[in-house]
Amino acid sequence: MGRTPCCEKTGLKRGKWTAEEDEKLVNYIKANGEGSWRSLPKNAGLLRCGKSCRLRWINYLREDVKRGNFTADEEETIVKLHNNLGNRWSLIASHLPGRTDNEIKNYWNSHLSRRIYSFRSIAASESTLSQTDIIKMVSKIKKKSGRVSRAVAKKYNIKNPENSPTSLAHKQATVEVGPTGTGERKSASLESSLSDDCCDLLRAEEIWPNAFTLSPKDVREEDTPGPWKEVDGGLLMNVKHFWEEGDVTEQCENILVNDARDEGVLMNTDSGYTHEYACSSPIISYFTDEVVNWDHNLWIEEEQDILIWS
């Protein structure tokens, strides 16, 4: 049966607002003020749901609504606030005069999340980046031009509710990695806001010098099945697939795919390295010089961006 709709929908108009409807709504509110949204449509002569009227007024018709592109300062504010507040759009909007929660949410989902999706913090133990540095880097990352395959995403069934873009949007993961014979340790933290084309985020040369692109031919050899290959004593991995295939942990001994419920786990791998990691999202990274078994059914379908650690 479902819940009762917010208002009687029969005979009500839906979809785009016309200029005439806008005018009616504006005139009515100017004369009578905001509020009483349920009765407003009838009184204003609109065949709209009260909620629809409210949304139209708040997001587009109010005089103080700021239109146009977001400035660099506004972007920076959104990134900062989102880092602290998560998807609390109305709260974020309250810090940006003239911007609505809906507008910020849209902007985040279509612009910023892809960039943030890149490494938020990448630091060797000697040179940790500050939060400010990260935010600056994120704002410099250009959106990848061109199409990215949504078909691939569908093929690998990433529509798992737990991995949905929105559910991951505010999560962050940190990975500390055992050395590959050098004694060096590295740590990184990722904020994910997984979109269909999550490989975008790894176009991260700007912030991570070892990031580069792996083409399908690099991984289609018989002895290196799956979306990874050995490189310089390290292992190149396809983070895209890694994220999408949240269950690969069970198939790959030396690969750590974290899960929110495993926060703070200390893992010993067969290669003798200890991988200490703490995540709050299903992630991500692994580092080993061991070639591991991979699901042979996972192939890179197109050129993708890869992050390498060695």
Partner DNA sequence: AACATACTCAACCGCCAGGAG
Partner DNA sequence: ACTCCTGGCGGTTGAGTATGT
User: Can you give the binding site for DNA, defined by CB under 7 A?
Assistant: 2-3, 5-6, 9, 13-17, 35-39, 48-52, 54-56, 59-60, 87-91, 101-103, 105-107, 109-111, 143, 145-153, 164-167, 169, 195-197, 200
Work out how close the CB of 272 gets to DNA at its nearest, in angstroms, rounded to a whole number. Answer: 41
CB-nearer residue toward DNA: 57 or 309: 57
Rounded to a whole number of angstroms, the minimum distance from the CB of residue 277 to DNA is 25
Shortest spacing between CB 136 and DNA, in angstroms: 21
Closest CB to DNA among 3 and 209?
3
Q: How far is the CB of 226 from DNA (least distance, A)?
A: 21
Nearer to DNA, 17 or 228 (CB): 17
Q: Which of 105, 136 has the CB closer to DNA?
A: 105
Task: Return the residue matching tokens 């929105």.
Answer: 166
| Nearest to DNA of 139, 149 (CB atom) | 149
Nearer to DNA, 101 or 305 (CB): 101
Nearest approach in angstroms of CB 100 to DNA is: 8
Identity of the residue, 91 or 266, whose beta carbon is nearer to DNA in the bound complex: 91
State in angstroms the smallest separation of the CB of 215 from DNA.
13
Distance CA 118, CA 79 (A): 13
117: nearest Cα among 61, 69, 168: 168
We find the least distance from the C-beta atom of residue 128 to DNA, in angstroms, to be 30
Nearer to DNA, 5 or 264 (CB): 5
Query: CA-to-CA distance for 169 and 254, rounded, in angstroms?
Result: 27
Asked whether the beta carbons of 293 and 240 are under 8 A apart, the reply is no
Residue 122 CB, shortest distance to DNA, in Å, is 23
**Could you give the C-alpha distances from 276 to 47, 57, 77, 145, 170, in angstroms and in order?**
59, 51, 32, 36, 22
